[in-house]
Amino acid sequence: MDNIYQAAERDRLGFWADQARDLHWHKPFSQVLDFSDAPFAKWFADGQLNASYNCLDRHVLAGLGERTALLFEGEPGDTASFSYSELLAETKRAANALLALGVQAGDRVAIYAPLIPETIIAMLAVVRIGAVHSVVFGGFSAEALRNRIQDAGAKIVITADGGFRKGKVHELKTAVDTALADNSCPTVEKTIVIRRTNSPVTISTMDLWWHELIAAAEPEHEAIGFDSEHPLFILYTSGTTGKPKGILHSTGGYLTGASFTHRTVFDLRPEKDVYWCTADVGWVTGHSYVVYGPLANAATQVIYEGTPDTPSFGRWWEIIAKYKVSIFYTAPTAIRTFMKVGRDVVSGHDLSSLRILGSVGEPINPEAWHWYHDVIGNKNCEIVDTWWQTETGSIMISAIPGAFKTKPGAAQRALPGITVGIVDEAGNPIQPDTAGYLTIDEPWPSMLRGVWGDPERFKETYWSKFPGKYFAGDGARFDSDGDIWILGRIDDVIKVSGHRLSTAEIESALVEHHWVAEAAVVGAKDEITEQAIVAFVVLRQDEIADAPIEADMAQTLKDWVVQKIGAIARPRQIMVVAELPKTRSGKIMRRLLRDVADGRAIGDVTTLADSSVMSSIKEKMENESHD
Ligand code: PRX
């Protein structure tokens, strides 16, 4: 295994070129990296390829058409399986259907659908014709969906009548109707509706049924090559400001990164492994490690529509036993939830097929690591703790199975071909065991190509703090062996159950309510979800004459945030306060609010304009928690 580290060290660009050549190129590339317009990078720029062809056609042409690509498990217990040939046939029809609707290369298609095979087929069909998908997680509200459709200027929206979640129908088409109401998204020409739950939906002249389109579509479609830098998808993620950013990825570099890391980090043996990543396709993990990585590598994988606890906490373990899953990839928050339920949750399920366990999305605490290792892995599996981001497109830091001894809680090493650093405020490398800022020091193939529609924001957000280096927004430290420990975000991005949210985004949702004059949101520590949202609000005295009592008001404001962003952003607590703690220059001191939310002693208040503000907030918090 040392060999790939050494090979990458000897000739980094040659190493990446070799990985890229593992894909099928309609036109081979001769250039590897062009960083002359830094920080905008071009990888394999004179080559052409088709992402859908790489995920499907080439495997079928290589004689792997009969291999199972998807083993679908619906939440109610229905199942379906697709071989690579079947997935290709469906994707070709879907591509033809989109073409018939006038979708052209470069057009954007929004996808707001459950984790079912049709959603993956839709993604592959969109990119097959060179269009760009923007998948929006089904847990986002109609308003959040509307903002994303508008920002991307989507021409088509693909959705479903609903999906199954927690034993109920989660309505999706109705949310799309609300998002598009009053011609608020004028770029949208048609909505395509996948039938999943058979729940009643309104079908207007703008709406088309997926199954009818597919049935009527031509079966043959030849995939043509697109430039390596042709945009592949946009995925919105939260940053430090109120407005989510459309992270843009392009074809050749992204597919190189996703496929290389998938086969390397999970030690994939595609002819015998059964792989399962529990992420939804609405998140980057679902893009890189449910769709593009596994399919480009001709893997056989399980996809599951529902939640881990439906109908019981045994569901995931039952699925692993049923399909003999050998590689399993999930988030620490799920592990902690199961830990709380207790080890009985796995009893009666044969998990002996497992060989590799992955973790992603937030730091995995050593207790959760040990539970994962001992109870799920029966002390027999390697754990790979994988650090990366929507922006990085693929895993940047992780152990590679068998390469070195893993340490509970450490993300460990940069992957071959990736150069990371940890620096102090001035940008100087720090000593081991000192906390610093995590940077990526050289461009990598699957790096984001920009923020959709806002090139300045790309430079400013990622490349201005430490000139010439990509600043990830995370704190980290090296230990004395040179292993990396991720310490979490150092900005106003918070992680709730592995979902990335911005405190500023929740604050702006709150102040849009007429009762609220000011809001400050912090991520408080939470045993299960890592962080939980706690909001402090100051009310507008002129607007609250008819408002309900405080407890009901807090409930209304929680629902309001759900309506504005989605259920994933529901605050755990909303506290009405007379004033927010501010410095003399008017900056809100969230650090102090975090102390209160975590029940700690309050830190230094000397820079506050009025230091009594904090004592009254603390007193109120204590009274509320005693109620
Ligand atoms: O803070 C880091 C955390 O998740 C952030 C990226 O979030 P997102 O773009 O939603 O992508 C999540 C899935 C890749 C990072 O800035 N993070 C991700 N993986 C880890 C992690 N923190 C610690 N350890 C990890 N393995």
Query: pLDDT, tens digit, for every residue of 341-379?
Result: 999 999 899 999 999 999 999 999 999 999 999 999 999
User: Residues near 183 by Cβ (< 8 Å), separated by ≥ 6?
Assistant: none
Task: Name the least confident of 260-274, 536-550, 560-574.
Answer: 536-550
Q: For 165-190, what is the HEC assignment?
A: ECCEEEECHHHHHHHHHHHCCCCCCE
The stretch 25-53 carries a mean pLDDT of 98
Q: What percent of the chain has pLDDT over 70?
A: 99
Question: Which residues does ligand 1 sit against, CB inside 6 Å?
Answer: 237, 284-285, 359-363, 385-390, 411, 472-474, 486, 488-489, 495, 500
For 183, other C-beta atoms within 10 Å of its C-beta total 7
Residue nearest to atom 21 of ligand 1 (CA): 362
What does the pLDDT look like over 64-95, one tens digit per residue?
A: 999 999 999 999 999 999 999 999 999 999 99
Phi then psi dihedrals of residue 436, to 5 deg: -150, -165
Per DSSP (E only), the strands in 28-186 are 33-37, 40-43, 48-49, 68-73, 79-83, 108-112, 132-135, 156-160, 162-165, 168-171
Give the pLDDT score at 192: 98
Helix (H, G, I), strand (E, B) or coil at 533: strand
pLDDT above 90: residue 115: yes
Q: How far is the CA of 184 from the centre of ligand 1 (A)?
A: 33
Tell me the three state secondary structure of residue 231. Answer: strand
Residue position matching structure tokens 């609300």:
178
- From the CA of 141, how far away is ligand 1's center (Å)? 23
Q: What is the DSSP string of 399-413?
A: --TTTS---TT--B-
Q: Quick check: helix, strand or coil at residue 132?
A: strand
Dist. CA 503–CA 491, nearest whole Å: 9
Residue 364 CA: nearest ligand 1 atom is 24
Tens digits of per-residue pLDDT, 467-520?
999 999 999 999 999 999 999 999 989 999 999 999 999 999 999 999 999 999
Identify whether 219 is preceded by a cis peptide bond (ω within 30 of 0): no
Q: What is the distance in A from the centroid of ligand 1 to the CA of 91?
A: 31
Contact 364, 377 (CB under 8 A): no
Q: What angle do CA 612, 537, 361 make, to 5 degrees?
A: 110
Q: How far is the CA of 325 from the centre of ligand 1 (A)?
A: 24
Q: Whose CA is nearest to atom 11 of ligand 1?
A: 389
Gap from CA of 472 to ligand 1 centroid (Å):
10
21: its two tokens:
């050549």
> What is the position in ligand 1's atom list of the atom closest to the CA of 395?
14
How far is the C-alpha of 261 from the C-alpha of 400, rounded, in Å?
10
Q: Which amino acid is at 42?
A: K
How many whole angstroms from 401 Cα to the centroid of ligand 1?
Answer: 20
The single residue listed with the structure tokens 């010439």 is 468
Instruction: Give the DSSP per-residue string, 603-614.
Output: ---TTBS-THHH
622 band by pLDDT with thresholds 50, 70 and 90: confident
| Mutation probe of ligand 1 site: the residue of 398, 495, 501 with most atoms within 8 A of C-beta | 495
Neighbours of 517 (CB within 10 A): 16
User: Which of 111-125, 149-163, 335-349 bottoms out in mean pLDDT, i.e. has the lowest?
Assistant: 335-349
In the numeric block, the tokens 């529509």 are attached to: 305
Cα 387 to middle of ligand 1, angstroms: 6
For residue 330, report the distance from its CA to the centre of ligand 1, in Å: 12
Kindly give the number of the ligand 1 atom that is closest to the alpha carbon of 279.
13
In this structure, the residue with its CA closest to atom 8 of ligand 1 is: 389
Closest residue to atom 18 of ligand 1, CA basis: 361
- The C-alpha torsion from 226 through 229 and 231 to 236, rounded to 10°, is 160
C-alpha 361 to ligand 1 mean position (Å): 4
Give the Cα separation of 63 and 78 in Å (integer). 29
Ligand 1 nearest atom to the CA of residue 486, by list position = 23
Q: What pLDDT score does 529 carry?
A: 93
- Sorting pLDDT into bands at 50, 70 and 90, what band is 627? low
Q: What is the pLDDT of residue 1?
A: 53
Stretch 296-306: mean pLDDT: 98
In this prediction, residue 548 carries a pLDDT of 85
| Neighbouring residues of 576: CB distance < 8 A, sequence distance ≥ 6 | 537, 538, 539, 550, 553, 554
Given a cut of 60, is residue 12 above it in pLDDT? yes
Mean pLDDT value of segment 574-601: 93
- Is there a contact between 298 and 84 (Cβ–Cβ < 8 Å)? yes
Q: What is the mean pLDDT of the chain?
A: 96
pLDDT (mean) for 455-471: 95
Separation CA 330–CA 569 (nearest Å):
20
What's the CA angle centered on 85, arms 260 and 221, to 5 degrees? 95
Query: How many angstroms separate the CA atoms of 621 and 599, rounded?
Result: 9
| pLDDT score, position 4 | 93
* Residue whose CB lies within 8 A of the most ligand 1 atoms, among 140, 283, 360, for a mutation test: 360
Find, among 230, 227, 288, 278, the residue nearest to 256 by Cα: 288
Nearest CA residue ID for atom 10, ligand 1: 500
Contact 355, 381 (CB under 8 A): yes
Cα separation, 266 vs 264, whole angstroms:
6
Listed in order, strand segments (DSSP E) in 130-230 are: 132-135, 156-160, 162-165, 168-171, 190-194, 207-209, 226-227
Cis check for the bond before 311: say yes or no (omega within 30 of 0): yes
Checking if the pLDDT of 585 tops 90, the result is no
Nearest protein CA to atom 26 of ligand 1, as residue: 387
Backbone φ and ψ of 367, nearest 5°: -60, -45
Q: How sure is the predictor about 269, in pLDDT bands with cuts at 50, 70 and 90?
A: very high
State the Cα–Cα distance between residues 503 and 523, nearest whole angstrom: 8
- Distances 163 to 119, 171, 172, 577 between C-alpha atoms, Å: 11, 7, 7, 39
The closest alpha carbon to 569, from 533, 536, 537, 528, belongs to 533
Residues in Cβ contact with 38 at an 8 Å cutoff, skipping those fewer than 6 apart: 443, 468
Strand partners, 495: 500
Provide the greatest CA pair distance for the chain: 73
List, for residues 169-224, the tens digit of each pLDDT value. Answer: 999 999 999 999 999 999 999 999 999 999 999 999 999 999 999 999 999 999 99
Name the band, by pLDDT with cuts 50, 70 and 90, for residue 107: very high
- 445 CA to centre of ligand 1 in angstroms: 19
Asked if 394 contacts 257 with a C-beta cutoff of 8 angstroms, the reply is yes
Atom number in ligand 1 closest to CA 411? 26
CA of 515 to the centre of ligand 1 (A): 34
Q: What gap in Å lies between CA 57 and CA 53, rounded to an integer? A: 5
Ligand 1 center to residue 390 CA distance, Å? 8
> Residue whose CA is closest, atom 15 of ligand 1?
389
Number of residues in the chain? 627
Residue 617 tokens, joined: 């907030």
What integer pLDDT is reported at residue 162 of this predicted model?
Answer: 98
Name the closest-CA residue to atom 25, ligand 1.
Answer: 387
| Pure H helices in 435-548 | 455-463, 503-511
SS3 423: strand
Q: How far apart are CA 215 and CA 374, in angstroms?
A: 48
Structure tokens at 36: 């002359």
Say if residue 26's pLDDT is above 60: yes
Ligand 1 atom having least distance to the Cα of 397: 26
CA-closest candidate to residue 127, choices 151, 100, 103, 155: 103
